[in-house]
């Protein structure tokens, strides 16, 4: 497994970087299986990840060591964040917050508060 800095860990995900961030955010409050992930992400982000996209991102996250499967007797296997995954998510969200802060500040300067 290649060790990459947390803020670069999702760089190689390409079009799966968005789904990967959503999955990591969903797993931040505990382990979830595929369907629970789909419903949770739909509730907090308004995005429904299709099954193929979800598992593509899950497989990549697992290969990067950002999530790990949890032992289960159920046919639905839950996944949980790893320590590296938590650090990566924190770095990713901080970067997104910086973008959001800059955008909101400039909007306020140019367009005023709505």
Partner 1 sequence: MKAPGVRAPAARAARLLRWYPRAWRSRYGTEFAELLVADIEERPRSRSRTADVIRGGIVARLGQAGLCGAGVWGDPAEPGPLAAPRRSPAGRTGASLASLGCCAAVFAAVGGAMWSQLTTGWQWSPPGTAGVTVAMLAMSAAMGMLTVLALLAVLPVAWRVAAGRAPGVRGPSVLFLAGLAVVVIGGRHFGNGWPGTGGHPWPHQGLVPGGVAAFSWASTLSVSSFWAHPAALAAFPAPELAWMALSPLAVAGAVTGAAAVVRRAGLSPRVLRFETWLGRAACAAMALFLAGACAWVLARAPGAMFRPGLIDVAGLVVLALALAVAHQAAGQARAGAR
CA distances, 83 to each of 12, 24, 62, 80, 89 (Å): 19, 11, 13, 10, 10
Angle, CA of 106, 7 and 48, to the nearest 5°:
75
Under the criterion CB under 8 A, does residue 69 sit at the interface with partner 1?
yes
What span, in angstroms and rounded, lies between the C-alpha atoms of 81 and 21?
Answer: 12
79 vs 52: CA distance, rounded Å: 16
Stretch of 21-29, 72-80, 97-105, 106-114 lying at the interface with partner 1 (CB under 8 A): 72-80
Q: Counting contacts by CB under 8 A, is residue 4 touching partner 1? A: no
Stretches 56-64, 83-91, 94-102, 106-114: which one binds partner 1 (CB under 8 A)? 56-64
Contact between 47 and partner 1 per CB under 8 A: no
Q: How far is the CB of 64 from partner 1 (least distance, A)?
A: 8
Residue placing its CB nearer to partner 1 in the complex, 6 or 65: 65
């Amino acid at each position: 497994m290649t060790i990459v800095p947390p803020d670069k860990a999702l760089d190689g995900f390409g079009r799966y970087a968005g789904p990967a961030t959503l999955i990591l955010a969903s797993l931040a409050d505990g382990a979830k299986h595929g369907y629970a992930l789909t419903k949770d992400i739909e509730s907090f982000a308004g995005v429904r990840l299709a099954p193929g996209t979800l598992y593509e991102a899950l497989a990549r996250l697992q290969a990067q060591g950002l999530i790990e499967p949890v032992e289960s007797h159920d046919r639905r296997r839950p996944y949980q964040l790893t320590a590296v995954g938590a650090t990566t998510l924190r770095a990713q969200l901080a970067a997104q917050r910086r973008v959001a802060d800059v955008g909101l500040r400039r909007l306020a300067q140019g367009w005023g508060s709505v």
